[in-house]
Amino acid sequence: MKYNVQITVMPLKDLLDPQGKAVLVGLNNLGIHSVEDVRVGKHITLIVEAASAEEAKSVAETAAKQLLANQVMESFEISVN
Amino acid sequence: MKYNVQITVMPLKDLLDPQGKAVLVGLNNLGIHSVEDVRVGKHITLIVEAASAEEAKSVAETAAKQLLANQVMESFEISVN
């Protein structure tokens, strides 16, 4: 069966996020002042062929750890639909 | 009140996603063959000061349309926590 797996990779909370800061400045320049903080990460959608949702999640976890997320600087979350 | 707003920006379904294709090749090279398709987009977290969740969502929508998403090539989804 095919599973649609969503992986969100975000910079760790304690680290600076220069891209997020740039977006915040950009929003201020556009006149949007009610945004107080911005963090920018990646969203990855995988279509996984697996026998169960657990197996699909496990494949995605391996992919995230080995390729998609740098765990020194980023954390990731996985959800399976 | 402060709202945590999540924006997911993904390449449109009908368009090629070279970054996703590169990740797919990378996963195959790592021995992960059960992934059939990959699409890579952006995940943006905003902290918005607003009177209501609706107002926070509206600010995020303006930010997405004006700065974060290129609607010719990308679609976006917003959720407010």
Q: What is the pLDDT of residues A24-69, one digit of tens each?
A: 999 999 999 999 999 999 999 999 999 999 999 999 999 999 999 9
Dump pLDDT digits (tens) for B34-48: 999 999 999 999 999
Cα B44 to Cα A30, B8, B10, B60, distances in angstroms: 17, 6, 11, 10
A42 contacts chain B (CB < 8 A): yes
Residues whose CB is less than 8 angstroms from the CB of residue B79 and which lie 6 or more positions away in sequence, other chains included: B5, B6
Residues A68 and A62: their CA atoms lie apart, in Å, by 9
- CA B59 from chain centre, in angstroms, equals 16
Please indicate whether, in this complex, the C-beta atoms of B47 and A32 are within 8 angstroms of each other: no
Average pLDDT of every residue of chain B: 96
Please indicate whether, in this complex, the C-beta atoms of B37 and A47 are within 8 angstroms of each other: yes
Please indicate whether, in this complex, the C-beta atoms of B10 and A45 are within 8 angstroms of each other: yes
Dump pLDDT digits (tens) for A1-32: 999 999 999 999 999 999 999 999 999 999 99
Give the pLDDT score at B81: 83
Which CATH number does the domain housing residue A64 bear?
3.30.1280.10
Domain of A63, in residue numbers: 2-80
Average pLDDT over residues B58-72: 96
Give the pLDDT score at A81: 83
Give the pLDDT score at B60: 97
Number of independent structural domains in chain B: 1
pTM over 0.90: yes
pLDDT at B3 over 90: yes
Q: What is the ipTM of this complex?
A: 0.91
Q: Which residue has the tokens 């657990």?
A: A54
